[in-house]
Amino acid sequence: MPLVENVNIARSNGEKIIVDPNVALSAITHRQAWLATHDLAMLAHWHSADPEQIN
């Protein structure tokens, strides 16, 4: 998958999380029963296009 497409997907995912943070919680808790601050940080990193979107 080209880098541009990855960035576009990450930006779209980040926008969904901004609109509804439950999307992030559902993604994490789908794989594990508990979560930590680190889990939220990693999800934000993986599903965002850039640091500005994370902040």
44 within some domain: yes
54 within some domain: no
55 within some domain: no
Can you give the pTM of this predicted structure? 0.57
pLDDT of residue 20: 92
CB atoms within 10 A of CB 1: 6
Q: Are 14 and 49 in contact (CB under 8 A)?
A: yes
39 within some domain: yes
**Which is nearest to 27 in space by CA: 55, 46, 53?**
46
Is residue 1 scored above 80 in pLDDT? no
The more confident residue out of 52 and 16 is 16
Number of domains in the chain: 1
- Domain of residue 32: give its range: 3-49
36 within some domain: yes
Q: In sequence order, what are the residues at sequence separation of 6 or more whose Cβ sits closer than 8 angstroms to the Cβ of residue 10?
A: 46, 47, 48, 49
Interval 3-33: pLDDT, tens: 888 889 888 988 998 899 888 888 878 877 7
Q: Are 26 and 10 in contact (CB under 8 A)?
A: no
